[in-house]
Chains A and B, each alone.
Chain A
Amino acid sequence: MTAKTNRPGKASKSPASALVDPVREANEPTSLLARFGPERPLGMDCGVTLDRWQIAYQTYGTLNADRSNAVLVCHALTGDQHVANTNPVTGKSGWWEVLIGPGCPIDTDRYFVICSNVIGGCLGSTGPASLDPATGKVYGLSFPLVTIRDMVRAQAVLVEHLGIASLFAVIGGSMGGMQVLQWASSYPDRVFAAVPLATAARHSAQNIAFHEVGRQAVMADPDWQGGRYLDGAKRPSKGLSVARMGAHITYLSEAALHRKFGRNLQDREARTFTFDADFQVESYLRYQGISFVERFDANSYLYLTRAMDYFDLAADHTGVLAKAFAGSKTRFCVASFTSDWLFPTADSRAIVHALNASGASVSFVELESDKGHDAFLLDEPELFATLRGFIGAAARVRGLS
């Protein structure tokens, strides 16, 4: 894969705000990169094996002498590996800098933090925007369907590659939380503490429905071109933007939208009797949609939403979720948010009940917030206090000073 650098479909004009070309970023990321060949193939749930694949990642802090202080951060649907550094594509700060950094609840002065781009993503780990080594062209829809377990398998290879036999903690929210649960289930001996936030052990029918609307919006855009858009210059920006607008609503709450925007008009005194963005909330959503397409690959969005839809940890264990954690020695800390209607507290309680039934050590708290699903990414002092306590106590048991 290293030899193929012909950069097909290089965007004719990058959006003004993009600092790095996203197509280039998918193959040659501004990131640490681990490449694997036929000696370390990646077998996937769909039956396909990737003989050549790569995983892009960032690290923060220092691995201690006995390699016992590594924390793996799993990103959500549209996140990436740039968890605590300036994002090279958007120029914005890392997506979880409130939680991860020197002196933060996940203290990079104490822990060695790893965050990798998921398989199927578009910021340097192999995905639909990557070049297929067999053809030299972008995979597009010929890329195999990815599952949460595939993502975790790839991360496990990376962690091994970094010489880490056991992770101190695995943490993530939403799709990241699904990966945390999968890690704890697939590799119980390699996870000392697990922190699945605002997540579920299976994607609900309602959430699959929302994802389907998003995918249909992408595929209805003529510029999507059956997924082959990276061969040319056009991008399904309209469709992906609409998908993002719809999804973004599900990340918020009625109360948060009302508090932020109410029925306020955008830069105008009165209604215009047109379909312009009269309301602030419309203007905000349009901005969210437009800024998203500058940094995210439309096919990746299809693949990763599908991976979440397919996730059902109990189904892999004869329908009994507790069996996924049987005999687990991992310490769990589960948290949900009162206003999160995408991954409601009931989903977290189902995880907690299964962990209790399997005898695992688990803490659970439902945190008060009106910020909806996105609360896990925001400055939530109660979340930080809980995590600081949980991680600190786990570190003491682990013997980390």
Chain B
Amino acid sequence: MSDVRIDLSLIADMVEPGSKVLDVGCGDGALLALLASRRHVDARGIELSREGVAGCVARGLSVIQGDADTDLGDYPDDAFDYVILSQTIQATRAPRRVLENMLRIGRRAIVSFPNFGHWNIRAQLAFKGRMPVTSNLPESWHDTPNIHFCTIRDFVGLCDTLGAVTERAVALNASGSDIGVKAPWWFWNLFGQQAVFLLRRTGPASPP
């Protein structure tokens, strides 16, 4: 398991064994395959690219070709134990609606995303005056599918707006190590290269 990406491994550890999971934007199915083998979950996925879906199906995963922005609305409330959005929220057209749907159709939501408040990104914008290009965000501004970047503080703000409870949050620095839970938010926001949040809703799945 040494070749498993650290953020995927972290997400896998947040998922209860034997649960029912939907991975939104599951790519080639790496996380789903990990969850199926390590946590024995009932693994389902949604993926935009035809190649991704075909690859997942060939691995024996239940994956449908679809779009986080348009297709989550079709799932009933509480259809899953976990709905995961791994490194995808910044590429959605309506991140808030996507997160709302995730909290509705899953009892828990897990979101991982690149932190646009990382010092390296701030420095590139501040000192070079150019849109940041980093090792984990390698595309130029005109090529990138990432249209809705946020910082860790921004994401926490959205969770507050939606009334979502953060059950667990982890920030990873550039070398992939966990930034201590004792660290204050401003420290996370500056030194976390990516973050993983385990969320649940407070109210009913759908407004009555």
Contact = CB atoms under 8 A, between A and B. Distances in A.
Contacts of B59: 389, 393
B184 interface: no
Nearest to A353: B74
Interface string B6-25: 00000000000000000000
Contact of B50 (A352, A367, A393, A396): A367
A364 B54 contact: no
B60 A396 contact: yes
Question: In the complex, which of the residues A333, A390, A394 has the most CB atoms of chain B within 10 Å of its own CB atom?
Answer: A390
B65 A390 contact: no
B157 interface: no
A388 interface: yes
Interface in A356-395: 356-357, 359, 361-368, 382, 385-386, 388-390, 392-394
Interface string B54-95: 101111111111100000001110010000000000000000
Contacts of A362: 62, 64
A356 B79 contact: yes
Contact of B58 (A359, A364, A386, A396): A386
A49 B50 CA distance: 46
B123 to A, nearest CB: 43
B44 A361 contact: yes
Contact of B79 (A359, A361, A382): A359
A362 B74 CA distance: 14
B199 interface: no
B58 A388 contact: yes
B53 interface: yes
B65 A366 contact: yes
A361 to B, nearest CB: 5
Contacts of B64: 334, 352, 356, 362-365
B131 to A, nearest CB: 33
- B contact residues, range: 20 to 34
Interface string A324-362: 000000010110000000000000000011001101011
A382 B50 CA distance: 10
A363 B63 contact: yes
Given A357-B74, A386-B54, A386-B57, A363 B79 contact: no
Interface residues of A, number: 27
B65 A365 contact: yes
A337 to B, nearest CB: 11
Contacts of B57: 333, 363, 365, 386, 389-390, 393
Given A367-B50, A385-B54, A389-B54, A361 B62 contact: yes
B19 to A, nearest CB: 14
Contacts of B65: 364-366
Interface string B136-147: 000000000000
A357 B78 CA distance: 11
Contacts of A367: 50
Contacts of B76: 357
Contacts of B75: 356-357
Highest count of chain B CB atoms <10 Å: which of A331, A364, A368, A394: A364
A392 B54 contact: no
A334 B74 CA distance: 17
Contacts of A366: 50, 65
Interface of A: 331, 333-334, 352-353, 356-357, 359, 361-368, 382, 385-386, 388-390, 392-394, 396-397
Nearest first, the 7 closest Cβ-Cβ pairs linking A and B are: A393-B60, A389-B58, A364-B64, A353-B74, A361-B62, A365-B53, A363-B57
12 contacts: A334-B64, A356-B75, A356-B79, A362-B64, A365-B53, A367-B50, A368-B50, A389-B54, A390-B57, A390-B58, A393-B61, A397-B60
